[in-house]
Amino acid sequence: MDHSHSSDSVVCSRCTANNSLKNKFCGQCGAPLDIASGQVAAYLDANLKGRIDEVLKERFREQSVVETELAARVAERISSWAKLFGVYVGIPLLAAGAYLAWIGFDVNNSLTQLHQKLNEIKKSSDELANLVSATKQRADNLAKPADELERKIAESSALLAQVPTLVTSVTQLSDRIARTGANQLLELRNKGQAVGIDASHFEGPLQVAKLKTAGVSFTFLKASEGKSLRDPQFMANCRSAHDAGLACGGYHVLHSGDPESQARTFIDLLKEAPVDLPPAVTFEPGAAGRSPTLRDLKIFASAVERGYGCTPIVYGGTFLKSVATTADSDLARYPLWLAQYSTAPSVIAPWRNWTFWQFTDRLSINGLPGLDFNTFNGSTADLKEFVSKVCASSKR
């Protein structure tokens, strides 16, 4: 092959082929044709291979021939790679590093800061992931109560939808009871039985004229409740009824605990009022644990009988029926005021008969507000005889 060249050509430093000055790379081997790369390559050819051989000979002097040949081949490969790396990678990197250093850019420090920032970002990412996980868990936990609340709302809505129907039913039932009560009142009056009412301060002042027109002949008025409560309307209503010729009696709402103290409060009021009927005590369930017991009832009744001189009347209905039995025969000596809203009373144990019967509540008649109506098991004359019998030793 002809290796001669002219002044308008350039010789490749690697393969010594002639190339045009316009070419940047050798047409034969592809090596760069610029002068700098040629000088670097020449320098490397002149020095690098020899230096590597010296080092290898010093360090691997006792190795076998095979190892020496292998090292030589490796050195040759390194020489070829170093030429290219020095020109295309090493020099640009050195130049870039020198430029960055010249403009004040601290590469090592910047890399360290970048690493720190990456660590901070990773830490923030982990914290965000934990927060998302915790939020999801809270959302899942809230979902259960929310579902339960939604179910309750649906149930409540269904119940509310029934309210108009229930109101209608209650109204119809109230009307039916009122008609029944009015019919019973008329029937009782036609039989000649004494008819009366019971009331408290909730009904306000008694309209005695209207009561008399309705055929009422007696009244039971709330006098006291518990240990110390006194009905503010009792005295005025009792006087009003007594002055109008209506027999008046007082009743006490029994609470649990200290029945003797309750009896004293009740007796003190009765002694001040113009009462005509025997005292009465109601035995009904109370709120907040104030429901009386049969023992409370018996002690109270005995204390009133001793202190007032009249055998008290016991008022009760469903609650009294649920606790009293035939074994409580000592209660039967007290007249029974039965609370039972039906067309015919059914006596509860241990009593064999009723003396007063509350047959309806909230009956409006003759322009009167809703009142509880009662009847005595006998005529007005029988009522007077009854009073004189049970209050023969009255201490009023």
Among 46-60, 62-76, 241-255, the range of highest mean pLDDT: 241-255
**DSSP 8-state class, residue 88:** I
Calculate the alpha carbon distances from 12 to 25, 29, 135, 195 in Å: 8, 8, 69, 141
For residue 170, the model assigns a pLDDT of 41
pLDDT of res. 362? 82
Do 326 and 146 touch, CB atoms closer than 8 A? Answer: no
The answer, yes or no, to whether residue 225 has pLDDT greater than 80, is yes
What is the Cα–Cα distance from 214 to 254, expressed in whole angstroms?
30
In the prediction, which pLDDT does 379 show?
98
pLDDT value of position 58: 65
DSSP SS3 for 7: coil
| 201/41: higher pLDDT | 201
Taking residues 302-331, report their average pLDDT: 96
Q: How confident is the model at residue 85 (pLDDT cuts 50, 70, 90)?
A: very low
Least Cα distance to 334 among 358, 302, 375 occurs for 302
State the average pLDDT over residues 370-390: 96
Q: According to the model, what pLDDT value does residue 323 have?
A: 95
- Least confident window among 8-17, 64-73, 104-113, 350-359: 64-73
Query: Which of 329, 252, 261 is closest to 284 using CA atoms?
Result: 252
User: Quick one: pLDDT at residue 355?
Assistant: 98
pTM over 0.95: no
Kindly report, residue by residue over 321-338, the tens digit of the pLDDT. 999 999 999 999 999 999
Averaged pLDDT for residues 226-234: 97
**CB neighbours of 33 closer than 8 A, spacing ≥ 6?**
10, 12, 19, 23, 24, 25, 26
The tokens of 143 are what? 């979902």
- Local confidence band at 117 (pLDDT 50, 70, 90 cut-offs): low
Q: Are 26 and 11 spatial neighbours (Cβ–Cβ below 8 Å)? A: no
Q: State the pLDDT at residue 156.
A: 66
Q: Above 50 in pLDDT, residue 74?
A: no
What is the pLDDT, as a whole number, of residue 246?
98
Q: What is the pLDDT of residue 135?
A: 66
> What is the percent of the chain with per-residue pLDDT over 90, rounded to a whole number?
47
150-207 pLDDT, tens per residue? 777 777 677 667 656 544 444 444 444 444 678 999 899 899 999 999 999 999 999 9
Q: Taking a C-beta distance cutoff of 8 angstroms, is the pair 72, 53 a contact?
A: yes
Rounded to the nearest integer, the mean pLDDT of the chain is 79
pLDDT number for residue 40: 55
- Least reliable range by pLDDT among 1-5, 16-20, 181-185, 337-341: 1-5
Mean pLDDT of 23-51: 68
Q: How far apart are CA 377 and CA 193, in angstroms?
A: 7
Q: What is the pLDDT of residue 54?
A: 72
Q: What is the pLDDT of residue 367?
A: 85
pLDDT on residue 167:
45
CA distances from 355 to 193, 209, 345, 385 (A): 12, 26, 11, 13
